[in-house]
Structure 1
Amino acid sequence: MSKLHLVFGGRVADPQGMDFTNPADLHIVGIFPDYAQAEAAWRANAQRTVDDATMRYVVVHLHKLLQPDN
Structure 2
Amino acid sequence: MTKHASSAKTEKQLLHLVFGGELQALDGVAFRDPSKLDIVGIYPDNDSALAAWKAKAQSTVDNAHMRYFVVHLYKLLDPDHDKL
Counterpart residue number, 2:5:
none
Counterpart residue number, 1:20:
31
Query: RMSD of aligned C-alpha atoms?
Result: 0.8
Higher fraction of helix: 2
Question: Structure 1 unaligned runs (5+)?
Answer: none
CA distance in 2, matches of 1:29, 1:19: 18
Q: Aligned partner of 1:13: which letter?
A: Q
Q: Does 1:46 align with 2:57?
A: yes
Question: Structure 2 unaligned runs (5+)?
Answer: 1-11
TM superposition score normalised by structure 1 = 0.95
Report how many residues are paired. Answer: 70
- Deviation, 1:23, is 1.0
CA distance in 2, matches of 1:68, 1:18: 23
TM superposition score normalised by structure 2 = 0.80
Counterpart residue number, 2:70:
59
Higher fraction of strand: 1
Structure 1 consecutive aligned stretches of length 4 or more whose deviation exceeds 6 Å: none
